[in-house]
Amino acid sequence: MGWADLKGWTRDVAGAAAVGLFVGVIGPFGSYSNGSPGVRVAYWVVVMALGVLIYGTALRLAHRLARIWRLPAWAGFLAAAVVAAAPMAGVCVLMAGQVWPFLTLSPLTWYLECLVMGLPLAAGYELLLRRDARRAKARGEPPRRFGREVICLQMEDHYVRVHTALGSELILMRLSDAVSRTGREGLQVHRSWWVARDAVTGLVRDGRNLRLKLLNGLEVPVARRAVIRLKDLDLDLG
Domains of the chain in start order, with CATH, are 3-138 (no CATH), 144-232 (2.40.50.1020)
How remote is the C-alpha of 63 from its chain's centroid? Answer: 3
pLDDT of the chain, 238 residues: tens digit per residue: 444 466 777 888 888 899 889 988 988 888 888 878 899 999 999 999 999 999 989 988 887 787 778 788 788 888 999 999 999 999 999 999 898 888 888 989 999 999 998 888 888 878 877 777 666 555 555 544 444 578 999 988 778 888 887 778 888 778 888 888 787 788 889 989 999 888 888 888 888 888 888 988 889 998 888 887 777 656 655 5
Burial of 6 (0-12, 13-18, 19+ CB in 10 A): exposed
User: In the chain, count of helices (H) and strands (E)?
Assistant: 6, 8
Whether the pTM exceeds 0.95: the reply is no
If we measure between CA atoms, which residue out of 109, 106, 201 comes closest to residue 152?
201
> What's the first-to-final CA gap in the chain, in angstroms?
40
Helix or strand holding residue 181 (H, E): helix 175-182
Spatial distance between the Cα atoms of 156 and 76, rounded to a whole number of angstroms: 23
Spatial distance between the Cα atoms of 162 and 173, rounded to a whole number of angstroms: 11
